[in-house]
Structure 1
Amino acid sequence: MAPMRRGLVHVLAWLLATAAATTLSWWGVRTVMAGTAYDPPRAVPITAAEAAAHASTATPTPPSPTPTRTPRRTSPPPSPVPTRTAPSATPAPTPPAPPATTPAGDVKAYDTGGGRAVFDLGPASATLVSATPGTGWSMQVWKTETWIRVEFSRSTDRVTVFCDWHDGPPHVDVQTY
């Protein structure tokens, strides 16, 4: 009976140690991930002047049989599939004109040795559009009502992109230390 009890004590000790290690690991990962913010990508508004400049330099494409409105995408469009449609006796209705969009601000990118931070700078505030660490670098983001801080780090190297707007229009400062 004693060898069986000893084996049971060993199994119980192993289970407790495994549960403690798993809990500690999960708590550590959760703590680190809670301080990291990854904003979803956002479509950048295009002004009419930029669209006209792009249209004048782009390769012409054959006109489509019916006018369509293409949504903005962040991924490449799927390859076209040829389809056949029967000719229509009545012309296709013209889609309504898209609503006029006003730019949200001035979108500016800041390339640093640690990565790239992109901000949408409005007249009295700013938003983080995206932040991408460079190869071998990690990133952390902090946000408040009056500032955004993006820090890229690798070993002992740190690069901070700091955007604040508490005393006026947004101002961006890049510091390496």
Structure 2
Amino acid sequence: MRSGLVQIGAWAVATGAAVALSWYGVHTVLTEAGFERPQAVPLPSATAEAPASLPAATSAAATGEPLSPSPSPSSAPPSPSAAPTLPSPIRTASPVKSASPSSVRSYLVPGGRVALDIHPDRAELVSATPDAGWQMQVWNGDHWMRIDFSKDDKANSVFVTWNGHPPDVQTVVR
């Protein structure tokens, strides 16, 4: 009887030590690196931010923002489970030109920046970085992609479609 209790006690001590050591290792890794905010990788760009001395219309054109005022905002952002309907675009986005030949293009909308790897028959999301205070949501389909940036009652989107044609990128500011 005594040897059985000694064996159970030794097993309990060994198991407790193994669990404690494992928890400490996982806890250390998760607190040091697991939940750091991801950093966006800067894209090569030949154009810099517009100088502050330029008028608002010129500054907006240089950064790819729309020149027209935004229409009234929608009531709420769509739920991810619902297939989004494409609202009529305000303007077609022009990518920020790259200094080197690359298929990665960057698109600016109020609320964030989207980087896409454009191929002749498809597009892939490289990164979507919301501005401070904005939230970002992504939907993917077989031949389309939608990236939304939302804050309060504002929602701005980047739509990409490539169903049988080269990728077409449009921005919508609501």
Identify the TM-score tier after normalising by the shorter chain: 0.3 to 0.5
Larger radius of gyration: 1
TM-score, normalising length from structure 1? 0.42
Relative contact order, CA 8 A, sep 6+: which one is greater? 2
